[in-house]
Structure 1
Amino acid sequence: MMMSSRNSGSTVLRHLGFRLFSSAVATRVTASEPAHSLVLSRPFVPSAPARPPASVLMRLFPVRMASTSAAPALGGEQEEREAKSSAPAAPTSGSKAVASYWGIRGSQITKDDGTPWRWSCFMPWETYEADLSIDLKKHHVPRTLLDKIAYWTVKSLRFPTDIFFQRRYGCRAMMLETVAAVPGMVGGMLLHLRSLRRFEPSGGWIRVLLEEAENERMHLMTFMEVAQPRWYERALVFAVQGVFFNAYFVAYLLSPKLAHRMVGYLEEEAIHSYTEYLKDLEAGKIENVPAPAIAMDYWRLPADATLKDVVMVVRADEAHHRDVNHFASDIHYQGMQLKDTPAPLGYH
């Protein structure tokens, strides 16, 4: 008796299922109905073709790219037509360019002379004129044990660099800047996290260290226009940067004063390298080509600037980084934290 009632119930559902569920779907589906509601209703339709698992998953979990509004699921070709019709039209002459995939049209950035700004890695208000009057011969004499460890660590790193690059200072500068941009980012990141954990300000040091990392990165962008690195030099960057990042990360966790002192000595070696670079430029051993356009805009160099002018402003930047990091290490030696002493903002 129970078996016959089940059979009769299933028979009724088979006969009435199509009408019941098709009418329910017709009344429920609107323009704002989520796409997965259609998928859930389709298995009840006997004549619905079987869909591959990937298609079912795509309809169960629709990916919304440029729009946040819900839309019913469409077929492959129909989806392409809808995407093309909903995409923002290409800007016509005189209209603002689309700045992102959200369809936001940004304002046109121009230089002082009215010409369009062509760099996306830095903006006009981030440019500056380097202070070339800074003392390039300043040297911090190592006194304590940590100072001597930092000093001789940097000296030992210079030895294999001299052997590998010889007098190819363009490639040497490229390698140097891929490493020099790491300490500021690591220090700024760790200070940022400590500020969040302790609910305390940083005294402006987070911004200073991140600006240092950005400045070193712009050095790299400049020398990429001057020296074309070979494939094995690019591979070396991966190895050196990976090792140095983790080593400096651990060093900063153990002793920030050691880490900053080490960067101070690294910058002293950078000043020495760029001084040798200038000597070869002045002696004619390296062609004094016109300055790259990106360097002229970043350092506000004159139109007739040359590679020699670029090396001079980069060397001045390194001298400022030297002083900032030695100063940061001195603060720790005095038993204070960086947050207790205002950072030298705008130090470039």
Structure 2
Amino acid sequence: MFSAERLRMARFRQKLSGKELAEAAGLTPVTVSKVENGHQPDDETAKKLARATGFPLAFFFMDDPEALETKAVSFRSLKKMSAAERNASLAAGSIGIALYDWIDERFNLPAPDLIDLSKERDRPQVAARLLRQHWGLGDRPIGSLLKLYESKGVRVLSLSENTPNVDAYSFWHAERPYMFLNQRKTAERSNFDSAHELAHLVLHFHAGRTSAHIEDAERQADQFASAFLMPEADVKSVMGNTYSASQIIKAKARWKVSAMALATRLHGLDMLSDWNYRSILIELGQRGFRKGEPIGVERETSTVLAKVFAALWKRGVTRSKIADDLNLPWGEVEALIFDLAGRPASRPTAPSLSLVI
């Protein structure tokens, strides 16, 4: 049976309206509307819809996909996002679930080890400290954020959406945490986004339970991220008497954060006066640090996915085979895996995973 939900998903991924899809497929808008409302198309119509969306015909005859609801996802920019951007991102989330379901059948992945800190959502800095304690991190900087998250069972995927309105998002599905990160941001911004999404997973959306108003949740997630990435004791021991933008630019690499984020953390810890904070922000802006990071850190990618695809290539599994198994265009898979399929395999590192025989 042709799936209306899958047609909508394919259309959303292409950011097409119903009318635009009809034009691309050489059909009438009425025909597309009927199919999306459950009317079964004839063979020729189904083929036209598949060609117009770029998805394999078999994709549309699978069971309905795992649908994500906006209220269950941690979108931080709903007011800025267009409906097309929101729908495309939700559709990417559904594809990400399908990809990891496929991986789960072949590999044993780390189990989730996130704790429910929703009772601490009004004290996000305390929550950050509690999670650090649970994971045995102490107050030291975190060497690799994504490797840490994945070792704790978070399924991390990339977003290649060409829009400034989708920074990152996260959700729980089937008691498993998912995190999607936009790769068009700076590495420092992506690091902060990932900690922000971690906050949502433990403070607001733990195991699918939603709490807190959107504005409060965003503020809490930012405070959690700042405290999680830049622990108070470590910042105070390293920074001491801070008075210049140059000091901040030199020190920010320790915590792999932006200069602006470190300045804001210092101000929040009363290590910068209001006047000095404003002056430093102005100087950072003049030196280009408001729009980017002229002196940046290396971008992190998924360790788990790198190991998965290295193992698959070693076994002779091709891109075409993966795409055929999933009934997806390879480009949809590639958009989720940090472009790892095109990189040479690196030496395996933690987190550990084993092949299911």
TM-score (norm 2): 0.18
Name whichever structure is richer in strand by fraction: 2
TM-score (norm 1): 0.19
Bigger Rg over Cα = 1
